[in-house]
C-alpha cells in the first residue's frame, strides 16, 4: 500500500506517490483541473493503480501558521475527496514547498517556462516526502 501526496491549486494538482515502503516520494504527471468529476476520475484511477491507502494534501498556511482563505478551500476539497474515495485524507503544512520546488528546478538549470511545467509535481513530492520523513522512520 502507498501514500499519495497532492499539491492542490485552482488550475493544477501536483501529484506524488510513495514507494511501497513509504520512504520515497515519486512524482506523477500533473493534473490540469477541469471539473470535480473529471479530477476525481483521474485521482481515483491513480489511487487504484497504485494501491493508495492514504492521501496527504498540502495545506497552504500563512507564514505565521494562520489559516488562509485558500487553506479553508483546500480543507473542503480534502473532506470531499475523503468522503468520495473512502480514504483518510491528511492535511499537511505546505509552507514554502512551492518556493523550494522553484529553487530546486532553478538549481537544476531549467528555464522559467520549463520550471512552470514541473513545479506542482515537485511541490507534491516535497509535501509527501516531508510527511514520510516525519511519520515513517
Cβ neighbours for 27, distance < 8 A, ≥ 6 positions apart: 14, 15, 16, 121, 122, 124, 125
What's residue 137's pLDDT? 46
Please, what are the domains in the chain? 2-135 (3.30.420.140)
Question: Using one digit for the tens of pLDDT, what is the confidence trace for 3-32?
Answer: 999 999 999 999 999 999 999 999 999 999
What's residue 105's pLDDT? 52
Q: What is the reported pTM?
A: 0.82
3-state secondary structure of 55: strand
User: Where do runs of H (alpha helix) occur along 1-137?
Assistant: 36-49, 69-85, 97-107, 112-135
Low-confidence ranges of the chain (pLDDT < 50): 115, 137
Residue 96 corresponds to which cell in the numbers above?
Answer: 514554502
What's residue 94's pLDDT? 75
Amino acid at each position: 500500500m502507498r501514500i499519495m501526496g497532492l499539491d492542490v491549486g485552482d488550475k493544477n494538482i501536483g501529484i506524488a506517490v510513495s514507494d511501497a515502503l513509504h520512504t520515497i516520494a515519486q512524482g506523477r504527471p500533473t493534473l490540469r483541473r477541469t471539473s470535480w468529476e473529471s479530477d476525481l476520475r483521474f485521482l481515483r484511477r491513480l489511487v487504484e493503480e497504485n494501491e493508495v491507502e492514504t492521501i496527504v494534501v498540502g495545506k497552504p498556511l500563512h507564514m505565521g501558521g494562520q489559516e488562509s482563505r485558500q487553506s479553508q478551500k483546500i480543507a473542503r476539497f480534502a473532506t470531499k475527496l475523503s468522503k468520495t474515495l473512502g480514504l483518510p485524507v491528511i492535511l499537511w503544512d505546505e509552507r514554502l514547498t512551492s518556493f523550494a520546488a522553484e529553487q530546486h528546478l532553478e538549481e537544476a538549470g531549467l528555464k522559467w517556462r520549463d520550471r512552470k511545467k514541473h513545479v506542482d509535481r515537485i511541490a507534491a513530492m516535497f509535501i509527501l516526502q516531508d510527511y514520510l520523513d516525519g511519520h515513517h522512520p
